[in-house]
Structure 1
Amino acid sequence: MNLLLTSIGKRIELIGHLKTSFRVIGVDASTENPAKSFADAFYRVPRCREEGYVEALLAVCEEEKVSLLVPLYEPEFEILNAARDKFEEIGVKLVLSGEPVTEICNDKRKTAAFFKRYDIPAPETLSDSEVEAVIGGEQAEFPLIVKPADGMGSEGIFFAENRRELEFFYGYVENALVQRCARGKEYTIDVLCDFYGQPVYIVPRIRLEVRSGEVTKSRVDLQRRVMEGTEGLLRSLNREGRVCGPMTIQCFWEESEQRLQFIEINPRFGGGVPLAFAAGADYAAALKRMGESFAAGAAGGSLKGEEKPDLTDFREQEIKELTMLRYTQAVYEDGER
């Protein structure tokens, strides 16, 4: 079975894991990426906002007889969701949550509103008028977090320690959102959901060290409250639209106060997900069974894939509490670029 990954960049460990169950085809807008040396096949395609992007992906899918398409880059999600039927018409399942879900995830104002709507514990988000009032002298507890509402990863996030810094960062950050700080241990939860929105894996890990937005040290910690809170969040998210495939969720757990606060949802593979693989979460094998069920449904006359797979054995797999310590390697290429 063939699987296509978009925007492969540096996702070498992800490709290595998926190759245990798939032939992996990678695409990217640049040929200067190390991951292409590890994929079974590589194609250069237009940038996602350029003309011909979807058509190029469809052509690769037909050429390589792709069964599953897994996008890795947020700006692609809206475009690919709009083209979902085009891929399913040629037998390709888009492993991506539906548009209502990705919209909630990709816009942090909508994420905050979603948390509030379903009483999901989260740091308070200040309205524009509340921010202006604090800048003008109203009492507030610092630090406050200032970040772009449409940001990705840890880019453009600042801690305002006082009013002067708040005023500066609020004007400096484009489309700024201001939130109160969450406290405690910071967790990232790696999640895989089936095509019906049900979780196959929920693997919480503590973020021990992060550099340039990417985790470099992390430890699996199967904290019960974090896992239960994540299950509840997913149930609420499924009421908004279909959750599907990989999710990366972030939260804080404050042990002394027994307080859980969620801060972010990303409908994609996180950079630290290889730790979940090493701990026993066999995403590749689960995705292959999901893909086979979709193919069986399509063969039976349903483009939507009506065969529901039994994933009980994956849900019951033991997850080990491992620690990940990352290091850097390089790929070397001959010739001038």
Structure 2
Amino acid sequence: MREINILILSAGRRVELVQSFQKAAKRLNIKSNVLAGDCSETAPAIYFADKKVILPSINEPNYIDEIINVCKKEDVKLVVPTIDTDLLLLSEERERIESESGAVVLISSTEAVSICRDKINTQKFLEENGFKIPKMYSEEELDSKNIQFPLFIKPKSGSSSINTFKVNNLEELNTYRFLIKEPIVQDFMEGKEFTVDVFLDFNGDLITVVPRLRMATRSGEISKGKIVKDNEIIEDIKRLVKILKPIGHITVQLMKTNKGIKYIEINPRFGGGAPMSIQSGADSCENLYRLLRGEKIEYNENYRDNIMFFRFDNSICVDGNMEIIQW
């Protein structure tokens, strides 16, 4: 079997994701180097990879060139983005990267990414296609002050729940509208919040849908979660991806309220909590290796239900030469 090398971009703290690819390759008896790329030598994940790669920042003009160079040098077969700021650029440059390097870029179409990355586009897409989403208020409605609290405010192109707030009164609303760049204001939702890991093959055919109840979060990322095989959520997600047509691993956030399922956002990439679904049996990393070696995978729900995950911090120690110190 030929070598199938993987490049994970903006690896940061994605140690679990690196290890998930490594474990999948070992189970399948595939020779694979998992490369972790980042613009910082202090990114923890690069020290757990088979090879570390220091890349330019996404804002640098040679960012795409360097991705192509690494793919050619290391015979990379798959490029995996992990952060929102990479997505639009990678979707736009996908054809070039793939034609010049021979690697597959795990990115949805520019159209799908544009819908997901802009919260106003997301709102419009969901409303036009009959999905429930909290009401978004116009500037005129907010200025009229004829609104009911609580509300919820977030940036138009935000990520990781940065600058997202519950708004309890008019004073808070005015403060947050001033502080947040291009804010979006919606009704505040109450209910059970879910993150749903969805995996589709390179043709957009659905393989797995795994709802995870968000029991606790920290800095916008799940810290405690529970796999809940909720059929209502699964069926709604099936309808969603049939219209959106993404590929690869995507992460959908939604709320189950007393008025039904209401969507929060769609992230066309691996979310931070994706290893929970992977460990439950919906192994997107294994699926990707199998697809890359030409296998056909059918839709399945062969993952464990009603299991919980409690995430925690760990650390590594390096010396002045950035070499790991073993204890």
- TM-score relative to the length of structure 2: 0.92
1:143 pairs with one of 150, 163, 173: 150
- Per-residue Cα deviation, 1:250-272 (whole angstroms, up to 9, x for no partner): 11112xx3511011100111111
The separation in 2 between residues aligned to 1:290 and 1:336, in whole angstroms, is 38
SS state of the match for residue 293, structure 2?
Answer: helix
Residue identity in the other structure for 1:162: N
1:165 matched to 2:175: no
Post-superposition CA distance 1:274-327 (Å, at most 9, x none): 11011111212210122223xxxxxxxxxxxxxxx4202x62523332100111
- Segments of structure 2 that go 5 or more residues without pairing to the other structure are 26-31, 323-327
Q: Which residue of 2 aligns with 1:317?
A: 302
Letter in 1 for 2:65: E
- Percentage identity across paired residues of the two chains: 31
The DSSP-based 3-state class of the residue aligned with 1:19 is helix
Aligned letter for 2:307?
L
C-alpha separation between the residues in 1 aligned to 2:267 and 2:301?
24
Distance, in Å, in 2 between the alignment partners of 1:316 and 1:202 is 7
Taking the aligned partners of 1:178 and 1:49, their CA distance within structure 2 comes to 29
**Structure 1 segment 287-298 matched on structure 2, within 5 A:** 287-293=288-294
1:249 matched to which residue of 2? 252
Cα distance between partner residues in 2 of 1:185 and 1:334: 45
Q: Secondary structure at the match of 1:125?
A: coil
Mapped pair 1:335 → 2:287 = no
Matching residue of 1:285: 286
Q: 1:275–1:322: 8 Å Cα contact kept in structure 2?
A: no
1:15 partnered with 2:15:
no
The match for 1:110 among 103, 116, 121 is 121
C-alpha distance 142-258 of structure 1, shift in aligned 2 (>3 A)? closer
> Residue 198 of structure 2 contacts residue 251 of structure 2 at CA under 8 Å; is this kept in 1?
yes
- Which residue of structure 2 aligns with residue 50 of structure 1? 60
**1:40-81: per-residue Cα shift (whole Å, max 9, x none)?**
111111101102111111110011101111111211122212
Give, in whole Å, the separation in 2 of the partners of 1:8 and 1:246: 16
The more displaced of 277-286 and 55-64 is: 277-286
Q: Quick check: 1:208 aligned with 2:215? A: yes
Alignment partner, residue 238 of structure 2: 231
What is residue 304 of structure 1 aligned with on the other side?
none
Moved more, 315-324 or 188-197: 315-324
Contact 1:280 1:320 in 2 (8 A): no
Aligned residues between the structures: 311
Report the CA distance shift for 1:316/1:173 in structure 2 as closer, same or farther (over 3 A).
Answer: closer
Q: Is 1:279–1:321's contact at 8 Å kept on the other side of the alignment?
A: no
1:119 equivalent in structure 2: 130
For residues 157-209 of structure 1, the C-alpha deviation after alignment (integer angstroms, 9 at most, x for no partner) is 01110112112211221101000012210000011111111221110011111
Q: What's the counterpart of residue 7 of structure 2?
A: 4
C-alpha separation between the residues in 2 aligned to 1:122 and 1:82? 28
Q: Deviations over 1:194-247 (max 9, x none)?
A: 111122111001111111112111111111111111111111212xxxx11111
Give, in whole Å, the separation in 2 of the partners of 1:283 and 1:168.
Answer: 42
2:95 maps to 85
**Contact 2:195–2:252 (8 Å) recurs in 1:** yes
2:209 and 2:301 in contact (8 A); partners too: no
Any idea what SS the aligned residue of 1:36 has? helix
State yes or no: 1:100 paired with 2:111.
yes
Partners in 1 of 2:221 and 2:253 — Cα distance? 13
Task: Provide the C-alpha distance between the structure 1 equivalents of 2:240 and 2:138, rounded to a whole number of angstroms.
Answer: 23
SS of 2:207's equivalent? strand
Once residues 284 and 211 of structure 1 are traced to their aligned partners in structure 2, the CA distance between those partners, rounded to angstroms, is: 25
Q: How is 1:211-222 mapped onto 2 (pairs within 5 angstroms)?
A: 211-222=218-229
Which aligned runs of 4 or more in structure 1 are off by greater than 6 angstroms?
A: none
Q: Distance in 2 between matches of 1:158 and 1:244?
A: 31
* Deviation of the 1:334 alpha carbon: 1.2
Contact 1:142–1:160, Cα closer than 8 Å, also in 2: yes
1:194-205 map, 5 Å: 194-205=201-212
Give me the whole-angstrom Cα distance separating, in 2, the residues matched to 1:323 and 1:92.
35
Amino acid in the other structure paired with 2:178:
G
Rounded to whole Å, the distance in 1 between the matches of 2:89 and 2:239 is 29
Deviations 1:111-148 (A, max 9, x none): 101111101111111111111112xxx1x221101110
